[in-house]
A and B are shown apart, each in its own frame.
Chain A
Amino acid sequence: MPTTQSQIVNFQSVAKSFGAVSALAGVDLHVDAGECLGLVGHNGAGKSTLMNVLAGTLSPDTGVMSIHGQDLAEHYNVTVAHDQGIRCVFQEQSLCPNLTVAENARIFHASLKGFGWKKRAGKMIIDKLDEIFPDHGIQDNDVVGDLTIGRRQMVEISRAFTVTDKALDLVILDEPTSSLDVVTATQLLTYVRKAVGEGQSCILISHLLGEILDYSDRILIMKDGAVIAEKLAADFTRDSLVTAMGNVVEEKEIEAHVQFEKVRGETPQVVCALPRTQTNGTEFIAHKGEIVGLAGLASNGQTAMLLQVFEGATKRVPNTKVEAPVAFVAGDRQSDGVFHLWSIGQNIGVRSLKNMIKGWWLIDVAQEVFMADDWKNKIKIKTPDMNDNILSLSGGNQQKALFGRALGSDAEIILMDDPMRGVDVGTKLEVYDLIRAEAEEGRTFLWYTTEMDELFNCDHIYVFCEGKIVSELSRSELTEEKVLQCSFKENA
């Protein structure tokens, strides 16, 4: 499509690979002045990679990158992007925690120097904060490291909208509301509409489909590194959007897998824990052989609950009773799970090393190899050799290896920290079957998931909000509306 006058960005067949892995497979994208483009897709769809290319932090392998009518693919970087009026607020923190708010604003603008720079920078950022987030309560000499996550997010977003000497045409917001509460999220999205009305553009990435539908003009759906659908927001409904995104296990499919519902209390309690900030005495309870779900908006204390149980298994933790050995399946592979220098087999065996000791202290390598091959087959890990480095596996297969590590251990309680993120449907169904089978044998599963439909695998669900349990539901009582209702503070 040829570039029009008011077009800010026009990508044609932009592609990017990391080694053998293709992250972007020939993407076409255009953004006009005065519009908000919503970008949706599951983890691993390529949204972040595409935005990194647009923001200048990654160089594309091939394709035409036309910005304001010029093809800049050859020498594009962050500085060029800034000069062209394109800014990006990434998911990870781009603030320096050791500097103040004003100093962080200065970092963003090379031209803020000379006598009196601090005052100018401070005024600029506070003015913008006032504009977007009234009553924010932040001061320009606050040290960023001392601010709450929500406030840091507010500073980072406001900073992206500040202008000194170069015009601002396009702001990319990657999951901007993930650390904001309902009030500030609404303030932000309202401001975005206002800015768009004044001619600026915005690309909004969010997994909260409601936000995308309510605040974008046009929606792009990405899957497996390509754009699979592009329509006006008005032409989508929530259901049609979800269907178009694919990769979601339908409730009906799960129902076909679920045999029967457990009656609570038939088996002994294996976990009884009071969340640290719980005020009304509601305890987190799991019985042997149960699959207990942890629900609610992301990062509302579910992982903390899992970790409390994890610690309670080996140490004395107040108000926490854990009656059997536990194992943990990480969701954030890189920081919590994978040992990147080791082989696949070693990664699987690490939780069970104590049980592989023969003689006095030596680890029985034959046993380790046996366990690796056993789980390669059980969980169908796609690899020619279990002695290969773990990073040679795809993300989904790495996740399978982490499952193998936990399920192959002597643990009777398995803690799962949203482990299905970015895993393909086929794998998900296989793992659900495995979990069901193991639960039949008496293993208990504590399952934190951000995918509503996965909760239908669980026998009992606890909904969390701001670190506390606000509601419990049994499988038969479970509906998406009920969970959503409880997840927000006003209704707690």
Chain B
Amino acid sequence: MSIMIASTKNLIQKPWIWSYLGMIVVWLATITFTKGLGGGAMITAALSFAAFTVIVGIGQMFVISLGPGNVDLSIPANIALSGAVATKIMDSSNDMLLVGFLVAMGCGLAVGIFNYALIRILKIPPIIATLSASFLILSTAIAYGRGLKIKPPTMLAEFATWQIYGIPILAVFVVGLAIVMSVVLHHTFYGRSVLAIGQNMRAAWLAGINVERIRLSTYVLSAMLASLCGLLLSGFSGGASLNMGEEYLLGSIAVVVIGGTSVAGGKANVPGIWGAALFMFLLVTMLNTFGASAGIRLIMTGLIIVAVITLAGGEKQLD
């Protein structure tokens, strides 16, 4: 019995537990309303859609963990660009799938390096750097992708939409990705370096960490994950569209915050991102089910984010 109490206590102290609790509460509320109908379909849909947010959320989590002021606002533009470029290159052909993947990753690499070049060489704060970069990236995507009506290769579309017993294969893949990334965060030199830099950049430098290299890697990681998301999204939605990344700007930051990662840097977790992504999707579903209008949905989403960060509070001033 005491072991149960101890492990429950341990569980409650985990920062990500609240997002999962929230998710369960919202799901139960919805099912109660529909008198039990559609519960399973809801979970399937949630897993499908949340998977995409999780992919970019992981990248954003690493960037935010580098310390205050670090955020990647170029994710939506990158999604659009990578999706457009990859789709055009693959030209609906399954044989070109690998090439398309490599091209998308190449986009991510280029975007990440470009972002960091602005930050490092031109000494532009990350918010502005990724913001201006996103303008350029979006323009490139628009110019490149005009008149894009190409279908994704069938294998990609299937991978993105295939389900076994109501569980999307994509979601399983992204859970696997999340597990790998969690190990990277907590148990590799790279992950530890990110967390050190987020706590105290100067101390990290003095402790022998190559701060610039780690930061570059992180911005590249975030960009490449965004590109992956763009590629998969184009498979999921039957083609690339130029505004398909829009909701992921705020979405990627929201799931990081609600998932329990500290915005001040140095403290992060991956499970929370899944919990938060599922929670956000199910929240919208719940509001839809209750018949709330678009306006109410937006207001509720916003208030939830504000409420979570208010409860979490900011970094205590070390006086």
Contacts and interface: CB of A to CB of B under 8 A. Distances in A.
Chain A in direct contact with chain B (Cβ < 8 angstroms): yes
Interface of A: 310, 314, 327-328, 330, 334-342, 350-351, 353-354, 357, 361-363, 365, 405, 409
Interface string B241-279: 000000000000000000000000011000000000000
A310 B267 CA distance: 28
Nearest to B267: A341
B120 interface: no
Nearest to A326: B208
Interface in B180-236: 183-184, 187-190, 192-193, 195-196, 199-200, 202-204, 206-210
Nearest to A406: B207
B189 A361 contact: yes
Interface of B: 183-184, 187-190, 192-193, 195-196, 199-200, 202-204, 206-210, 266-267, 318
Given A327-B208, A350-B196, A362-B183, A335 B189 contact: no
The dominant DSSP class at the B interface is helix
B203 A338 contact: yes
Contacts of B193: 353
Contacts of B206: 310, 328, 330, 336-337
B207 A350 contact: yes
B217 to A, nearest CB: 13
Contacts of A335: 200, 202-203
The dominant DSSP class at the A interface is mixed
Given A330-B203, A337-B206, A350-B207, 16 more contacts: A327-B208, A337-B203, A338-B200, A339-B199, A339-B200, A339-B204, A340-B318, A341-B266, A342-B196, A350-B209, A351-B208, A361-B189, A361-B190, A362-B187, A362-B188, A365-B187
Contacts of B189: 353-354, 357, 361, 363
Contact of A363 (B192, B196, B200, B266): B192
B207 A351 contact: yes
B183 A350 contact: no
The 9 A-B pairs at the shortest CB distance, nearest first, are namely A328-B206, A361-B188, A339-B199, A350-B207, A351-B207, A341-B266, A353-B189, A351-B208, A362-B187
Contacts of A353: 189, 192-193
Nearest to A52: B319
A361 B217 CA distance: 15
A337 B193 CA distance: 14
Contact of A409 (B190, B203, B208, B266): B208
Contacts of A328: 206-207
Nearest to A360: B188
Contacts of A357: 189
B190 A339 contact: no
Contacts of B318: 334, 340
B207 to A, nearest CB: 5
A336 B208 contact: no
Contacts of B190: 361
User: Considering residues B183, B208, B209, which has the most beta carbons from chain A within 10 angstroms of its beta carbon?
Assistant: B208
Contacts of A342: 195-196, 199
A59 to B, nearest CB: 13
Contacts of A338: 200, 203
A409 B209 CA distance: 13
Nearest to B265: A341
A363 B208 contact: no
A290 B60 CA distance: 47
Contacts of A327: 208
A409 B195 CA distance: 20
Contacts of A337: 203, 206
Contacts of B210: 314
Contacts of A362: 183, 187-188
A351 B189 CA distance: 11
A363 B190 CA distance: 10
Contacts of A409: 208
Contact of A340 (B199, B207, B209): B199
24 contacts: A328-B206, A328-B207, A330-B203, A335-B200, A337-B206, A338-B203, A339-B196, A339-B199, A339-B200, A339-B203, A340-B200, A340-B318, A350-B207, A353-B193, A354-B189, A357-B189, A361-B189, A361-B190, A362-B183, A363-B187, A363-B188, A363-B189, A363-B192, A409-B208
Nearest to A362: B187
A138 to B, nearest CB: 29
A283 B266 CA distance: 40
A351 B204 CA distance: 9
Nearest to A391: B318
User: Considering residues A338, A341, A354, which has the most beta carbons from chain B within 10 angstroms of its beta carbon?
Assistant: A341
Contact of B199 (A341, A351, A354, A361): A341
A435 to B, nearest CB: 19
A363 B184 CA distance: 10
Nearest to A356: B189
Contacts of B209: 350
A393 to B, nearest CB: 15
B15 to A, nearest CB: 12
Contacts of B200: 335-336, 338-340
User: Considering residues B188, B206, B267, which has the most beta carbons from chain A within 10 angstroms of its beta carbon?
Assistant: B206
